[in-house]
Amino acid sequence: MSLEGIYDEGNVFALILAGKIPSTPIYEDAHTYAFLDIQPQSKGHALVISKWSKARNILEIEPEALCQVMASVQKVATAIRKAFDPDGIHVAQFNGAPAGQTVFHLHVHIVPRWEGDAPGFSVHGQGGFADADALRALAQEIRAQL
């Protein structure tokens, strides 16, 4: 999918927001939701989405929604730092399939990084799916720092 197109109400993050499929929650406020990535690039890899914006990418999102998402990104990144003491934190956001986007509801990745980690993103699926119980335990550690 390129930058052109219409918002698909059946995309996986819309289904998560609608409670139709499960996720591992970290943080929630009136406008945003943060949860753990199911195919993590590192321990504690989180995603933040807007609850109300139907934007697929950064070109479409309302500035107000973007500000709300980024405020939550900062909050969650701070909690992840306290929980896991990473050496760096990669904040990333992809727009359009050629740029690596696979879910077309705008989201921001928060990826803790440690010295010696390979930089950049591995192809989705390469690392496989995380164990659900392990994700729940990590989420609890992050939530304890919020």
> Which residues participate in catalysis according to the annotation?
107
Interface residue with ligand AMP, options 14, 27, 34, 37 (CB under 6 A):
37
Spell out the alpha helix ranges (H) of 2-146: 12-17, 63-84, 132-143
Question: 53: helix, coil or strand?
Answer: coil
Which amino acid does the sequence have at 140? Q
Residue 114 C-beta: closest distance to ligand AMP, Å: 19
Asked whether position 33 contacts ligand AMP by CB under 6 A, the answer is no
Residue list 105-124, contact with ligand AMP (CB under 6 A): 124
| Per-residue binder mask for ligand AMP (CB under 6 A), 38-57, x = binder | xx------------------
The CB-side HSE value for 29 (13 A sphere, CA atoms) comes to 14
Residue 125: CB atoms within 10 A of its CB come to 9
Interface residue with ligand AMP, options 74, 78, 102, 122 (CB under 6 A):
102
The CB-side HSE value for 33 (13 A sphere, CA atoms) comes to 19
What is the binding site for ligand AMP (CB under 6 A)? 12, 21, 23, 37-39, 94, 100-103, 124
